Amino acid sequence: MTMGPTVRRRRLGSELRRLRETHSIKLEEVADHLGVAASTLSRIETGKAPTKSVYLTAMLEMYGVTDHAQRQVLIDMAREGHRKGWWSVYDDVLPTGFGIYVGLEAEAAGLRSFEAEAVQGLFQTPEYARAILREVQTRDTDAQVDRLVDLRMKRQEVLDRDPPLDVWLILDEAVIRRTIGGTTVMRDQLNRLAEASRQPNVTLQVLPFDSGSHAGLRGSFSILEFPERADADVAYVESVAGIIYLEKDREVRMCADAFDRLRATALSPGDSADRICEAADGLG
């Protein structure tokens, strides 16, 4: 898999942070030297924003990076980080901060996701997605919603690429019981889930109502894993308050532990498929 711009930015930012910390230089000191806000430099170091060549040159001077080969690798990373991904054509409708997630998802090797309210976007049918977006994006026009649906369908190509994204998806039973978009739309959505559960790169489980208290009571979350060990896992949480990316080892481990407890509690993949078909049959 070719490394894309989002992962390039993350890797460059990680190396710049390591160089800064090796020299015991505070982030605020570098920001002052560059003439930028500390928050701007933080976004560069976390890979959420590309860095200008003039900033990179100044940072390499501050950090004493004189080796030509090392400098060139970092310069190339910065250049690649400016390259736009396919999702950039949807910038006009992308929710704030969501473009980062799409870029990470496009370059990930694995995805572990717990969904408490709705089907994960990679497995939504167009009409199910449209019904959700019309409800949560109330200020968007029909044309804007249509573009967001198109984006969601385009994202699903990661499931069929070579190699495909490896997905482990856990759905709260409420997700398959809540009728979204009407019975026809929901039946088609459940059939889509049943088909997805048979894909070799997809493991799908349902967390039943009778599981009682469980590790996902704080809400939905996802963990993205990448092909290279140098690229750390990222946890993602979305709510009405905005998007949160968790990248510290401790935070990601907490999410991974919660996910492990959820999959131990959830129905087996076979029983989950039966539960989904049962829900579809119940729609008449």
Task: Please report the pLDDT score of residue 2 as a whole number.
Answer: 54
pTM of the model: 0.85
State the pLDDT at residue 231: 87
Other C-beta atoms closer than 10 Å to the C-beta of 284 total 6
pLDDT (tens digit, 9 = 90+) per residue, 152-194? 999 999 999 999 999 999 999 999 999 999 999 999 999 999 9
The count of other CB atoms within 10 Å of the CB of residue 260 is 12
Could you give all domains of the chain from N- to C-terminal order, each with its CATH number?
A: 5-81 (1.10.260.40), 92-281 (3.30.870)
Dihedral, CA of residue 256, residue 262, residue 266 and residue 269, to nearest 10: -10
Q: Is the pLDDT of residue 111 over 60?
A: yes
The residue-averaged pLDDT of 236-264 equals 94
